[in-house]
Chains A and B, each alone.
Chain A
Amino acid sequence: MSSDDKKLIDEIRDSLLDFEIPYEEGNWENFQKLYGQKLDEDRRKPTKTRFFFWKYVSAAVILIGVLVYIPWDRSGKRQIDPESTAKQETTSITEQRLALPKQPNAESVTGGTPLRPTFRPPEKTRVATTYERLASITRTIETNTTKAQATLPLALPAISRGDMNLSLGSGELVVDSHPQEMHMPAFSRWKFGLEVNSSLTGDHVNFAAGVFTQFDLSEKIKLATGLTYARVSAIHETDPVPLSYDTKILGGESTIKAIDIPLTVVYEPADGWYASVGVSALAVLDERKTYRMESEVLRESVTIDPESGASVAVFEVVKTEYQKESVDTDFEGRGNLGYLNLSIGRKQRFNKRTDMLFEPFIKIPMGGLQRDHVNLFNSGLRIKVLF
């Protein structure tokens, strides 16, 4: 290139580089009108994301707090009315006593020294059959009162004193007869654990890991919640959208990093097997959305014609598929994102204190996650360790 050629290009470049047109009044007002809201939204976005995140965490904490301090009827702190319990227990003993075969030398216990059995919350219990318990009561009472010698059938099994905590002192009969679970302290009905899960959205693999806690409402029904960090893929199922004559969008996908906070009701009808249903709230921390694009490029190559020796341009259309990151997001900073969670599972005792849970699950998008063209449905296997 000659110096004049270069000078021309430099001149063009410098002229265009410094080219400005004067500001036209009203443009800022138009800009504010058209884009002001978008800018404000963007400014609020980090705050909004943080708000959603803390909203869900607070909800989980409050829920756990409520469950810990709520005065559940089945907790060991319940005060039992001694009078009413004693009456019930006496009736029960009497009724069952009548069913025993009469022994010739035996007098009715109730016909002897009046006893005022009083029940107090037990410290230890064993499960005994009603018949065994009654036999033990009868034997002990009759030995101590010396009013009668109750002769029990020889076939009765030997029962140790440790099986029933029955004592008679100052005319009071103290019987510990509540089943063990009735006296379980509240904290012992809390279990904590770790979980990992892997699932599929289409052919994309998702991962999640977190902690959870489970509260035993009853033998068969449990309430579980937790905090899980999840990486989920969302597949955009759209028809190809032409952007220009040579480029079109084939589809897309989003990778979402989120905190998943589930609330689940677990029903355990049989020992070791359970089913659960629940909802979870999703606080999206980060979203990366990419479009799958296809571009048709007109590629040229210059070859020499062997006959004439002239340069010949050969054009060919080359299709290229590539991914392009999008600046906009579908879920980040938005509320009302949730899943409906369904699962069944098998609990396997690992050692004295640890259970392993294997749980196939499905997660069905709800609320803001439910979009026509975005597939967030996923299913997989969850493995939990419960301490």
Chain B
Amino acid sequence: MRTDNDLIEVLSKNWRHIDDKLRERIYKYYWGYLMGVALRYVSDRDMACMVVNDSFVKIFINLNDFECNDRANFNKMLKGWMAKITARTALNELRKHKTSRLQEPLTAENDWRFPVMLQDNLHVQNMWDLINNLAPNYRKVFTLYEIEGFNHDEIAELMGISASSSRVYLTRAKEKLKMLYRTFMA
């Protein structure tokens, strides 16, 4: 039985020429990770599954274009590349389904600032609860910036907003997260 390390080693040597067998292994190995990425943007599981499948099509088609000069971090770089593709695919899917709406007008909470006293062990489910309670645009900007590593100009292009709006959304998303944290963890 070949291990996951074996898969990554095989891939890192020649990711440009993969056969069907290797393709299946890649799909099975990274499916869970890409589902995690997709669920940051879409709450519906079926839609997330569709986003992941669309992303895999793009990944397999464009794997030739993936560049990696650091073999030691091949897996990390590949995951980052795949995550970016999945994020873009998810955002396109959201556009199609018209679910993207600015739901958060400026309210008094903008002035709401307080220091967070962090508990030691935050559970992953708690994290998801926090993220899922963000307004869609805040959630998108937060995940694109903090997790996927896009910069504000890229986010602006992806979301069709200005870079300054992206900065505002990020700041508000963080404020909201702190507020939610206080609410959930209280």
Contact = CB atoms under 8 A, between A and B. Distances in A.
Interface string B113-144: 00111100010100110110000000000010
Contacts of A39: 57, 60-61
7 contacts: A4-B118, A5-B178, A27-B31, A28-B27, A245-B101, A295-B160, A300-B165
Interface of A: 1-2, 4-5, 7-9, 11-13, 15-17, 19-24, 27-28, 30-31, 34-35, 38-39, 42, 243-247, 295, 297-300, 313, 320, 327
A247 B174 contact: no
A17 B96 contact: no
Interface string B27-70: 11101110110011000000001000100111011000000000
Interface of B: 24, 27-29, 31-33, 35-36, 39-40, 49, 53, 56-58, 60-61, 94-98, 100-102, 105-106, 115-118, 122, 124, 127-128, 130-131, 143, 146-147, 160-162, 165, 168, 174, 177-178, 181
A183 to B, nearest CB: 60
B35 A20 contact: yes
Most B CB contacts (10 A, CB to CB) among A8, A243, A300 go to: A8
Contacts of A300: 106, 165, 168
A244 B106 contact: no
A158 B111 CA distance: 117
B127 A12 contact: yes
A16 B127 contact: yes
A23 to B, nearest CB: 5
Given A5-B174, A8-B177, 18 more contacts: A2-B115, A4-B116, A9-B146, A16-B143, A19-B36, A21-B39, A22-B32, A28-B28, A31-B27, A34-B53, A35-B57, A39-B60, A243-B96, A244-B95, A245-B98, A299-B162, A299-B165, A320-B160
A3 to B, nearest CB: 9
A311 to B, nearest CB: 8
Contacts of A7: 118
A244 B124 CA distance: 32
Contacts, number: 112
Contacts of B127: 11-12, 15-16, 19
Contacts of A30: 53
Contacts of A244: 94-98, 100
A20 B36 CA distance: 5
A247 B56 contact: no
Contact of A11 (B100, B122, B147, B174): B122
A82 to B, nearest CB: 71
Contacts of B32: 20-23
Nearest to B57: A35
Contacts of A27: 27-28, 31, 49
A325 to B, nearest CB: 12
Given A27-B31, A244-B95, A16 B147 contact: yes
B124 A15 contact: yes
A206 B118 CA distance: 64
Contacts of A34: 53
Contacts of A299: 162, 165
Contacts of B61: 39, 42
Most A CB contacts (10 A, CB to CB) among B49, B94, B116, B177 go to: B116
A295 B159 CA distance: 10
Contacts of B161: 297-298
B36 A23 contact: no
A300 B131 CA distance: 24
Contacts of B58: 327
**Complex A-B, nearest 10 residue pairs according to Cβ-Cβ distance, in ascending order:** A20-B32, A244-B95, A19-B36, A313-B106, A15-B127, A295-B160, A2-B115, A21-B32, A20-B33, A244-B98
A12 B98 contact: no
Nearest to A17: B147
Nearest to A327: B58
A130 B96 CA distance: 84
Contacts of A4: 115-118
B116 A35 contact: no
A12 B31 contact: no
A298 B102 contact: yes
